[in-house]
Amino acid sequence: MDTLKESLDRKLSLNRQKIQTPIGHALRMDTDFSVRTPKGTLKGKAGDYIIKHKSGMVSIIESYVFNKRYDILR
């Protein structure tokens, strides 16, 4: 069974929704999800973005906030 990190790394490398940002990578999630971090468990909803920062840290941004802050460039 894959760990969440392996699953996220695979999705980030294969998913067409991957977005490189100045802070790292962003992935729009299709289902509700949770991420265990050293500071606790983060929970996100379908449509939210999981951000993998260049430092390796992970955070979640709600879709409406992400869409206000970022422009997706292809």
Q: In the chain, where are the structural domains located?
A: 4-69
Give pTM, 2 decimals.
Answer: 0.65
Q: Which of the pair, 6 or 14, is modelled with greater confidence?
A: 6
Residues 6 or more apart in contact with residue 2 via CB below 8 angstroms = 10
Residue 55, pLDDT score:
82
Write out pLDDT tens, residues 47-56: 999 988 888 8
Cβ–Cβ under 8 Å, residues 57 and 68: no
